[in-house]
């Protein structure tokens, strides 16, 4: 077995908490990346103000299948708002340092940032956006009509990404978890990406969308696309969302 995996498991074993930055009174990192100069929040429709179809959990689980293709897809702003809330949205704030969202997180640290490429989203120009869970809003990080093609190249899946309505990119900010959990926090980033994507699959099923999750991507190209800091922000998971025409025979 390659030493990389073994080194990771050994290096992220249960830590001596007396050595972590939380106990050492190091300043806590922010729970959300700050806005850049000139950026403006775009408020999303409240997910509490509209109804979505209810489907049994069993049906959603049994109905999931790997997606091989999308029809040309689009998504409404309401549906996008609901999906974002289901994947990283706030349920309540217990205190300044304790927040409860729609997914579990070790130590309630929530190390993930949600980015998405909007290819065909009602009311949004094509580009890269970031979700701001606390205010349930989004911010444009990069408006670019060619970004869908750039994403398809970076993700090594042209047919899926170019037809998806929106492609989510979850980016880990590991220090949020490492600050409180020591090196164990690195495991949390990967585990929580799985929690988040599973919520996406379930929420999308309610709305009639299909999901194509993948961890197959060029890390450097994704980091360049999203203009990430490679030292502190790591792309960990992608998921494209779209629709599939039923009873279509592929030639």
| The predicted structure's pLDDT at residue 250 | 45
Percent with pLDDT over 70 in the chain: 96
| The predicted structure's pLDDT at residue 167 | 97
CA distance 109 to 149: 33
| The predicted structure's pLDDT at residue 96 | 65
pLDDT digits (tens, 9 = 90+) for 118-162: 999 999 999 999 999 999 999 999 999 999 999 999 998 878 999
State the pTM of this model: 0.93
| The predicted structure's pLDDT at residue 191 | 97
pLDDT digits (tens, 9 = 90+) for 83-119: 999 999 998 777 666 678 999 999 999 999 999 999 9
Which of 28, 18, 17 shows the shortest CA–CA distance to 179? 28
**Domains of the chain (ranges plus CATH)?**
41-242 (3.40.109.10)
């Amino acid at each position: 077995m390659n030493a990389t995996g073994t080194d990771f498991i050994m290096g992220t074993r249960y830590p001596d908490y007396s050595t972590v930055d939380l106990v050492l009174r190091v300043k806590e990192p922010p729970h959300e990346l700050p806005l850049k100069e000139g950026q403006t929040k775009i408020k999303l429709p409240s997910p509490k103000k509209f109804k979505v179809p209810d489907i049994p959990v069993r049906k959603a689980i049994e109905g999931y299948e790997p997606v091989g293709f999308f029809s040309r897809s689009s998504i409404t702003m309401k549906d996008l708002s609901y999906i974002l809330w289901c994947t990283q949205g706030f349920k309540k704030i217990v205190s300044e340092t304790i927040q409860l969202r729609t997914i579990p997180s070790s130590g309630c640290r929530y190390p993930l940032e949600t980015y998405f490429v909007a290819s065909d989203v009602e009311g949004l120009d094509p580009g890269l956006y970031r979700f701001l869970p606390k205010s349930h809003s989004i911010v444009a990080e990069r408006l670019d009509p060619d970004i869908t093609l750039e994403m398809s190249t970076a993700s090594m899946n042209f047919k899926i990404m170019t037809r998806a309505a929106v492609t989510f990119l979850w980016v880990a900010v590991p220090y949020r978890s490492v600050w409180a959990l020591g090196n164990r926090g690195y495991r949390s980033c990967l585990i929580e990406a799985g929690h988040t994507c599973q919520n996406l699959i379930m929420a999308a099923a309610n709305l009639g969308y299909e999901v194509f999750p993948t961890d197959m991507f060029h890390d450097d190209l994704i980091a360049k696309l999203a203009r990430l800091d490679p030292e502190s922000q790591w792309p960990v998971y992608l998921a494209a969302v779209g629709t599939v025409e039923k009873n279509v025979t592929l030639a």
